[in-house]
Structure 1
Amino acid sequence: MSKVISPADAASLIPDNAVVSVSSSSGLGCPDLMLKAIGERFEASGHPRDLTTLHPIAAGDMSGIKGIDHIARAGLLKRIIGGSYPSGPSTSEPPLIWQMIGANEIAAYNVPSGILFDMHREAAAKRPGVLTKVGLETFVDPDRQGCAMNELAAAAPLVEKVEFDGETWLYFKAIAPQVAIIRATTADEEGNLTYEHEGAYLGGLDQALAARNNGGIVIAQVKRVTKSGSLKPHDVRVPGMLVDYVIVDPEQKQTTQTQYDPAISGEIFRPLSSFRVPEFNVQKVIARRVAQELETGSAVNLGFGISANVPRILIEEGLHGSVTWVIEQGAVGGIPLLDFAFGCASNADAFMPSPYQFTYFQGGGFDASLLSFLEIGADGSVNVSKLSFRPHVTAGAGGFVDITARARKIVFSGMFNAGAKLSVADGRLTIDKEGKLKKLVAEVEHVTFSGPRAVLQGQDITYVTERCVMRLTPNGVMVTEIAPGMDLERDVLDQADFPLLVSENLKTMDGALFAEPPMGLRLPVKPRRTLPGRRP
């Protein structure tokens, strides 16, 4: 018997007070039609009411895929626990979910994406919860915000600090969903799911296991349905025994503003010449300097922002393939994409399910991470997750806390000041008008990354801006390089709200960074990994 039903019928299966887990990453893999059907049912009948929804990565993108905003209605949502949230430009009206969070209409939490996947896994195995050091001394820590995004959430803590086996841990209780809503490309009549047009597997399998093992139901949104027995077993990522109902949306987008691109799903490989090389500007200067921190043979995580252009710097320098890129949605290798397609990669070597990618990150198995910053504090801490004057522009932390918790090397990149007008030419940087908003502040508004903990763990931390390079030391943040054309006192030290240390061996940044032609980048080779006590 076919498991295919209408979206309206599927929405009618969700009871009041249910915990609903949704698999998505912004527009990538978003079961948008199913979320729309739930919102429409509530508008017509007032049900389901008082839902708790779990979102390891944001659902929706505010650019044609509404996602969570379909169900962001008073009375429908009671509590939301998200790794990240849809964001919008500062000139637009905030997404509905942000309006509800800001008005304290629902209890809202920002839990690191990897921990949220871990909570699903623990719920599926009937274990009590997650013990982790990920998030210690950040906003995740109950000594700070404890993941709470507003007063309602703060009144109902989600995480506690505990002692176990002589060490301090964060403890998150497992949350068992009654409903899991996941997405794939194809379902057969038995509910077996394949992902051939998807840009990532995300965490659908883990979310389905959590619901099924706790007596719940699994609803899968797909693009098409095929005959039972016609799918190859190696292609099935979620078996039909875990799927109760299937809804069909032939128009589901592959990702944000992308109906379907076979290069995103790995069905074809794009020529390197088809990837846009960044135009020459200040942001490219920063990305080039970040690239100088890499080693050939490394596995490197990549975040949103300026650092997302580093793979294209390597293409321009003839070094594509020197580094294996790994992103939290699951792509391994290839070329991570930009803008609305961020989270996807073309020409990937493999796709890992997101929960396993986060296990890799949390354990520090990779070599380096390239990330952005909104603020840098005097103790080296970084904020990327909250700015009070632009709350809906930031999307929460996503996997940032999981990635940085044990990363051996992190390179943060961004503009030194916000709003500065700059020009670059002939191997020099010029400040035409200084920015009014300082980003190096005495204390960051939200601790997404803890500088003191990084020092304690011996992590290698670098901050790259257009006018200088800084490194985190046990004594504070130290300027180690300065851009040609910059005055150390006027353009760097006086523009920080805290005293910066200056290296005794202060260097001038390579002038080739500030000139338009390729800079002739050469990367050192990463030493081959060996077991302790063994010779390479």
Structure 2
Amino acid sequence: MDKVVTMQEALSRIKDGQSVMVGGFMTVGTPLGLVDALIESDIKDLTLISNDTGFADKGVGKLVACGKLKKVIASHIGTNRETGKKMTSGELEVSLIPQGTLAEQIRSGGAGLGGFLTPTGVGTIVEEDKRTLVVDGKTYLMEKPIRADVALIKAHKADRGGNLVYRRAARNFNPLMAMAADLVIVEVDQLVDTGDLDPDEVMTPCVFVDLIVESEKKDESA
């Protein structure tokens, strides 16, 4: 099945009020073309799930600045002043989660798990409103899985069926998010025919990918 579509066709599948995971780490491995197209669209009131909110002038941070978001779930917002300003003013709801916990929540969502136990955050503000369990004398927090309506991810290479190859550290959250959303849209730098990828190279199998768009902004880091 050929999953390649235009940017406009891909964005037509995203609706107001949905939760959207966006891959990347400080813009490395972020689908910048999809983010920019989302900014130019009329879609609004989104919940962003990402490792961070990047920078105010690049990547997912621009979604904060342009007012597309009602909520952010992330592990770090310190590099984007707009996020902090909107959080303190009450314009934007922000949920901060330890990075490892966030990654495992997304992985659990993709694996169909009901949650997991972690010692991270015990005895801190992270523990508020969460269930604790004692196992073999050690206290753990019970963390719930996270899934999203949509995942926007970035891959270095893909075949037309949706098998993906990432490049170096640009892999980061992308393969986890590909498994944890109802609709997965991937932006790729290199597109090849189905069958041209070495199976041993494939990092995300095609079964997790719904739509593919070719990047107009080639990124050697991704």
Match of 1:77 among 66, 69, 74: 69
* CA displacement 1:16-45 (0-9 Å, x = unmatched): 222211110002111111111111112xxx
SS of 1:247's partner is strand
Structure 1 partner of 2:200: 234
TM-score (norm 1): 0.39
Q: How does 1:194-233 map to 2 (within 5 A)?
A: 194-196=165-167, 198-211=168-181, 216-233=182-199
Structure 1 partner of 2:121: 135
Structure 1 residue 98, shift from structure 2 partner: 3.0
TM-score (norm 2): 0.88
Structure 2 partner of 1:9: 9
Structure 1 residue 244, shift from structure 2 partner: 0.6
Structure 1 residue 133, shift from structure 2 partner: 0.6
2:46 is the counterpart of 1:51: yes
What is the percentage of aligned positions where both structures have the same residue?
A: 29
In structure 2, list runs of 5 or more residues that go unmatched. Answer: none
Distance in 2 of aligned mates of 1:239 and 1:245: 13
Specify whether residues 195 and 122 from structure 1 end up closer, same or farther in structure 2 by C-alpha distance, changes over 3 A only: closer
Greater helix content: 2
Distance in 2 of aligned mates of 1:34 and 1:239: 21
Which amino acid counterpart does residue 74 of structure 2 have in structure 1?
G
* CA displacement 1:389-413 (0-9 Å, x = unmatched): xxxxxxxxxxxxxxxxxxxxxxxxx
Mark the structure with the bigger radius of gyration.
1
Distance in 2 of aligned mates of 1:5 and 1:161: 44
2:219 is the counterpart of 1:248: no
SS of 2:64's partner is coil
Match of 1:126 among 103, 112, 128: 112
SS of 1:160's partner is coil
Specify whether residues 9 and 86 from structure 1 end up closer, same or farther in structure 2 by C-alpha distance, changes over 3 A only: farther
Structure 1 partner of 2:141: 170
Distance in 2 of aligned mates of 1:167 and 1:58: 30
Which amino acid counterpart does residue 54 of structure 2 have in structure 1?
G
Structure 1 partner of 2:85: 99
Structure with the bigger RCO (C-alpha within 8 Å, sep 6+) is: 2
Distance in 1 of aligned mates of 2:70 and 2:163: 32
Distance in 1 of aligned mates of 2:116 and 2:54: 27
Which amino acid counterpart does residue 127 of structure 1 have in structure 2?
L
SS of 1:169's partner is strand
Residue correspondences, number: 221
- The answer to whether the Cα contact below 8 Å between 2:133 and 2:142 also exists between their aligned partners in 1 is no
SS of 1:185's partner is strand
Structure 2 partner of 1:36: 36
Distance in 2 of aligned mates of 1:240 and 1:162: 38
Specify whether residues 74 and 27 from structure 1 end up closer, same or farther in structure 2 by C-alpha distance, changes over 3 A only: closer
Specify whether residues 25 and 86 from structure 1 end up closer, same or farther in structure 2 by C-alpha distance, changes over 3 A only: farther
Which amino acid counterpart does residue 41 of structure 2 have in structure 1?
R
Q: Greater CA deviation, 70-79 or 27-36? A: 70-79
